[in-house]
Structure 1
């Protein structure tokens, strides 16, 4: 066994725990709701998280071969994919995110972020930030009070409800267009 193989064997258990934590995070209802409406697939997000987050948490370089062994296989409980499959999926995720950023830059360039129809998205982003603070605070506790659990669940329900309401195309219309659409619906009744 080479020195590299020996090093890989000693660090794989802790890497696998980090990968499991990544998969657990991906089961959170808010993340799933946002992911469903995003430009990333579940596999792309998992790959991106393994590439970025796990390496940062591990505070050491992880080879792409090791990263590929951490990703879950689609429609199977086994772990690991080929390095080529991991890299292809990672490149797809990076390309999608880059395109998203350029779309945001385009909207900023055109001054569209100043329009009121973006304010619900800003408000939701602020709520998500607060939710994450609550989640991170509660994650360090072993015993949670019923008030803490209710606060967490209430914040989660509020965010999920807001995500549902933002998913309609109506949320990306001007106020005037929304009123017109609403009055057209009323006149049809």
Structure 2
């Protein structure tokens, strides 16, 4: 994964806006996993995005990101367990993941129109059932 994927990939940019991760948290996760086999702490600092960030601050951001990711999964599990989303919605989520992988493999930026349609599909898939009056 390239270092500036967050800055150059408009699919990632759109998804981050709709996620419970901040841009900084996502960048920390990408940096951490891209450097998993390397020592990233030097003299109490992490060289992150061209800056020396105190290791405590970096790992606080990283741990917040990991907690947000875990909570997102647990939220889906709770919703499924309580019957608030059904197996068909979970299947559509997996199909959307497949579509995202196809978008990732495309050359160049994805059109705004396609991104908006994709986002609308996400919103309608993860929607609560309508109340019967």
State the TM-score bracket (shorter-chain normalisation).
0.7 to 0.9
The residue aligned with 1:42 is 23
The residue aligned with 1:129 is 101
Gaps of 5+ in 1: 1-17, 73-77, 136-148, 181-189
Alignment partner of 1:88 is 2:76: no
Q: Aligned to 1:81, what secondary structure does the other structure show?
A: strand
Give me the TM-score of the superposition, normalised by structure 2.
Answer: 0.74
Cα distance in 2, alignment partners of residues 103 and 171 from structure 1: 12
Q: Summarize the Cα distance change of 1:170–1:124 in structure 2 as closer, same or farther, 3 Å threshold.
A: closer
Q: Which of 28, 35, 46 lines up with 1:68 in the alignment?
A: 46
* Larger helix proportion of the pair: 1
Gaps of 5+ in 2: none
Cα deviation for residue 51 of structure 1 reads 0.9
Alignment partner of 1:172 is 2:123: no
Q: Aligned to 2:39, what secondary structure does the other structure show?
A: coil
Q: Summarize the Cα distance change of 1:131–1:170 in structure 2 as closer, same or farther, 3 Å threshold.
A: closer
Alignment partner of 1:26 is 2:6: yes
Cα distance in 2, alignment partners of residues 168 and 100 from structure 1: 15
Give deviations 1:30-60, integer Å, cap 9, x for gaps.
00000011010011011111111232xxxx3
For the aligned residue pairs, the C-alpha RMSD in angstroms reads 3.1
Aligned positions, number: 128
Cα distance in 1, alignment partners of residues 63 and 10 from structure 2: 26
Give deviations 1:149-189, integer Å, cap 9, x for gaps.
5xx65xx2364123432465796133xx39x9xxxxxxxxx
Cα deviation for residue 131 of structure 1 reads 2.2
- Bigger relative CO (Cα 8 Å, ≥ 6 apart): 2
